[in-house]
Amino acid sequence: MKTAPAVIAGTFIGLAGLLSFNSTAVKLSFGALPAATAPPGSTAPATTTTAPAAGGSTPPPTTKTTTAPPTAARSATGTAMNYVFGILSVKVTVSGSTITNISIASIDDGGNPRSAYIDQASIPLLEQQALSAQSATIQGVSGASYTTAGFDQSLQSALSKLGL
């Protein structure tokens, strides 16, 4: 019976501490949105017309189908992913079907210095792994599980947008 007041007081102190906890809102930055492009392998019709013949009648227009060269460099930004400690999105540049560059399009750690430190240490390693693998199948970085998961999901989203 002597411990009951201490337990009740501790409960109220813990509850007061919990209720007074303030967190900061996460700010989302989309950066520049990519322009809409035709998916690779799609065709864009091109219409050509010919001049009227000597008799004055115009022949019907003819349609030719052309395709964009698959070796052109193109980029896509993956979906912004919430990875528990913030939000990040990955930008991927490809030439043909080869990934030539991977970078962070936007990242917001919500002002958490520990998360920023982990991201600064892990993201260059994640970028190297993805470039080496030429896909979103990466091993990840120990101690940066949440960052790895967000990076991987955004990377896969960007690669899907590029048709890879």
> Per residue in 21-73, pLDDT tens?
665 554 544 444 444 444 445 444 444 444 444 555 555 555 554 455 556 88
Domain boundaries, the chain: 76-164
| Separation CA 78–CA 70 (nearest Å) | 20
101 Cβ partners below 8 Å, 6+ apart?
91, 92, 93, 131
Instruction: Determine if the pTM surpasses 0.95.
Output: no
- Choose among 73, 70, 137: nearest CA to 99: 73
> Per residue in 89-141, pLDDT tens?
999 999 888 999 999 999 998 888 898 899 999 999 999 999 999 988 899 89
DSSP 72-140: SEEEEEPPPEE-SS-EEEEEEEEETTEEEEEEEEEEE-TT-HHHHHHHHHHHHHHHHHHHHHTSS----
Residue found under tokens 């991927």: 92
The CATH classification number of 76-164 equals: 3.90.1010.20
